Amino acid sequence: MNVTPFNFNDFTISKISHYKIFHELKCDQDLYGKELYGNDDSSLKSYQHCLVLSFIRSFIPVGSRILDVGGGTSRISNLLQNEYECWIIDKFEGRGNGPITTPKGNFKIVKDYIGNFNTELPDYYFDLVFSVSVLEHVPEDENVWKRIRDDIRRVMVRNGYSIHCIDVTLRNGWVCSNGILWNIFKEEKTFNQKKSGGFKEIDNENDLFTLQRSDYDKNWKHLVGGKTYEEWGKTFSYNVLW
């Protein structure tokens, strides 16, 4: 099975069953050097990286121009740098637990934030713009969200694609997320639709892939005031493509 705009409704939320597709496309092996199964061996970012790479391998021709928004030391750009024209836009200032060291490789780097309309990023240039666990860190401001969306559309070719994997958390019956996620679904013509069954349906989704306890304890707990895994809630990836 491939991951394309035409079946992306199946990939709106992270699911354990998606790992079978990642195996078939060898995304987990190429990115992480091993097969991942959606259990303690898998992190939320590994799911998101594999999903984006699956979309690229399924649908974006070799040689295309791709832009990683906030990618830092990007696993995807590192892997694809000799097959695609890879760019990264990131300030490399450590925001959101991100990197401060500029990576070296066969890709171009723009030290800035998307939404600032940096002229180093050409107009109507990229076939794909993507982000992994980035947009949940932007300010909760509708003007900022609009600038981000407008800047992405500025740099994409007219028939380009934009895919974003955003961390959200189910807590006490509510999905806690940055409002930019719902803003994208509202303002852009997305290929997939926002989940319509409500938060309770997502909470009862047996196939839902969530942040694993080991990943939480190692990488998240100290950033959220030491809350227990149960207190924090179920964090998963909500994915949008336009």
The CATH number that applies at residue 153 is 3.40.50
- The beta-strand segments (E) located in the chain are 65-69, 85-89, 108-110, 126-132, 156-171, 174-176, 234-241
In this predicted structure, what is the pLDDT of residue 180? 98
**Considering the entire predicted model, what is its pTM?**
0.94
Quick: pLDDT tens for 26-50: 999 999 999 999 988 899 999 999 9
Please count the structural domains in the chain.
1
* Residue 95 reports pLDDT greater than 90: no
Can you tell me whether residue 30 is helix, strand or coil?
helix
Helix (H) or strand (E) holding 24: helix 18-24
Q: Are strands 234-241 and 85-89 parallel, antiparallel or unpaired?
A: unpaired
Helix (H) or strand (E) holding 150: helix 142-155
| C-alpha to C-alpha distance for 240 and 101, rounded to whole angstroms | 29
Which residue range(s) make up the domain with 236? 5-241
Mean pLDDT of 144-172: 96
